[in-house]
Amino acid sequence: MLPQDPALLALLLGLVFFVAVAYSSVGHGGASGYLAVLSFFGLAPVAMAPSALCLNLLVAGTSFSSYWRAGHFAFRLLWPFLLTSIPFAFLGGLTEVSPKTYMLLLAAVLIFAAYRLLAVVPPKPEESFLRVPPLGVALPVGAGIGFLSGIIGVGGGIFLSPLLILLRWADAKRTAAVSAAFIWVNSAAGLYGHLSRKDIDWSDLAWLVGFAFAGGLVGSYLGARRFRGLWLRRILGVVLLVATVKLLRTAF
């Protein structure tokens, strides 16, 4: 249940709004942030994973719409990852496991990715490029990301975005657009898996959805049309560091 105290409720909704702004500006849905915020208020992240995935669907969908309209989306980069991530995200959502080991593994991956994004400075002006990875690489990567994402209750953009940028498969804005679409589809598959094995109480979701939607509109507009590629890299690095801290706090 959401906090009954009006001040605590306002704080929770404000944090959800700002998480949505920060994540949607780089094409992310924000599930890891929502899980961490909800845990701060005494709500178990595992129990709230379906709600976080619903917020992910909303914010990632809003973000994708903005990046797509701005002309940054490339379907040929997305589909090889989706081919295996969709069934494995569903299987991950069906899998009943303790999240601690996966949270620690995720935190290690995020620390490395954030360091690379914050420490490595791209050329100025940043090159616009698109290099589709071979199927032999994209298919197993999509499967691994989908399965872990389904278990933890996230969309997988925190895994895919660093790979796309660090391996120079896409520039920052194409990465954000592809990640938003990837997150939306995998969140839907993971949510279906969660719903297939347990009942969910949706009574408190309306407030969270409203504030997440507002934050998604603001962040996706800023990311798609106002921020330069370098700033997107910096924002993504900071977002990953924040997500790491929140995940470690949840794990311990």
pTM recorded for the entire structure:
0.77
Residue 243 has pLDDT above 90, yes or no: no
Domain layout of the chain by residue ranges: 6-251
Q: Are the C-beta atoms of 59 and 29 separated by less than 8 Å?
A: yes
Predicted local confidence at residue 181, as pLDDT:
94
Integer angstrom CA distances of residue 110 from 12, 32, 42, 160? 24, 11, 24, 11
What is the arithmetic mean of pLDDT over 31-53? 72
Render pLDDT for 187-239 as a digit per residue (tens, 0 to 9).
999 888 888 877 766 666 777 888 888 888 888 887 777 665 566 567 767 77
Residue 92 has pLDDT above 70, yes or no: yes
Which among 76, 99, 78 is positioned nearest to 27, based on CA atoms? 78
What gap in Å lies between CA 80 and CA 208, rounded to an integer?
33
Tokens 């309306």 correspond to: 206
Question: Three-state SS for 130?
Answer: strand
- Range from 81-85, 141-145, 152-156 carrying the lowest mean pLDDT: 152-156
